[in-house]
């Protein structure tokens, strides 16, 4: 019986040694220099029967930020980085004035997509389930400002983030599906220009 227990314990060691935790998730999501893909965003509002749906493409670049290229229901390009949100206008990128809550949400969005678990841990309790191929991270706000906005945020993914669900305190919900995402080593010339212009 003792040998059987010892053999069972030894067989579990590789699984324990390879346990998937927040550090492994951060390393996995932080590895690609660039991630490109498509998004479908649905905003479920209490006052409306059907969700508001928008679609487009995104480019997430380490050290640069996020290009959010809205295609429908209207065409509009946004750039989100450490300085905030800018919208593409005829004369170039124009900064959008933000309140502190909006600025905090921008930092949150970049931290989520980029796998910055240390940044997230400042403002949220983090609960991770699953493994590297199929994981779910639940963020419960601890910062007062975020508690006023969100009940929770759930992020699902595999090699990259695939789905984000924002459960808001006023009863609204936003679901963001990131589809056909691919990792790359570098930005295209146009993307480079969009981030530095």
Q: What is the pLDDT of residue 16?
A: 37
Q: Has residue 18 got a pLDDT over 80?
A: no
Asked whether residue 159 carries a pLDDT value surpassing 50, the answer given is yes
pLDDT tens across 31-87, in order? 999 999 999 999 999 989 999 999 999 999 988 989 999 999 999 999 988 888 899
Residue 23 burial by Cβ neighbours in a 10 Å radius (0-12, 13-18, 19+): exposed
Domain boundaries, the chain: 20-196
**How far is Cα 190 from Cα 82, in angstroms, rounded to an integer?**
20
Classified by CATH at the fold level, domain 20-196 comes out as outer membrane lipoprotein receptor (LolB), chain A (2.50.20)
* DSSP strands (E only) in 49-190: 52-61, 65-72, 76-81, 84-89, 92-95, 124-131, 134-141, 150-157, 161-168, 173-184
For the segment 115-142, what is each residue's pLDDT rounded down to a tens digit? Answer: 677 778 888 899 999 999 999 999 999 8
Name the pTM for this structure. Answer: 0.82
What CA–CA distance (Å, rounded) separates 30 from 22? Answer: 12
> What's the rounded mean pLDDT across residues 183-194?
94
């Amino acid at each position: 019986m003792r040998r059987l227990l010892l053999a069972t314990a030894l067989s579990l060691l590789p699984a324990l040694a390879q346990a998937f935790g927040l550090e492994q998730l951060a390393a996995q999501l932080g590895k690609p220099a660039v991630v490109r893909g498509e998004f479908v965003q649905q905003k479920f509002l209490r006052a409306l029967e059907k969700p508001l749906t928008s679609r487009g493409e995104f480019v997430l670049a380490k050290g640069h930020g996020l290009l959010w290229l809205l295609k429908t229901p209207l065409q509009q390009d946004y750039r989100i980085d450490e300085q905030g949100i800018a919208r593409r206008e005829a004369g170039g990128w124009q900064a959008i004035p933000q309140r502190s809550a909006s600025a905090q949400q921008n930092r949150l969005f970049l931290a989520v997509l980029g796998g910055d678990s240390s940044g997230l841990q400042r403002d949220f309790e983090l609960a991770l389930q699953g493994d590297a191929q199929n994981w779910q991270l639940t963020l419960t706000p601890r910062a007062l400002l975020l508690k006023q906005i969100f009940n929770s945020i759930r992020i699902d993914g595999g090699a990259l983030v695939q789905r984000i669900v924002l459960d808001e305190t006023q009863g609204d919900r936003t679901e963001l599906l990131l589809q056909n995402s691919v990792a790359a080593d570098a930005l295209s010339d146009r993307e480079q220009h969009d981030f530095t212009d």
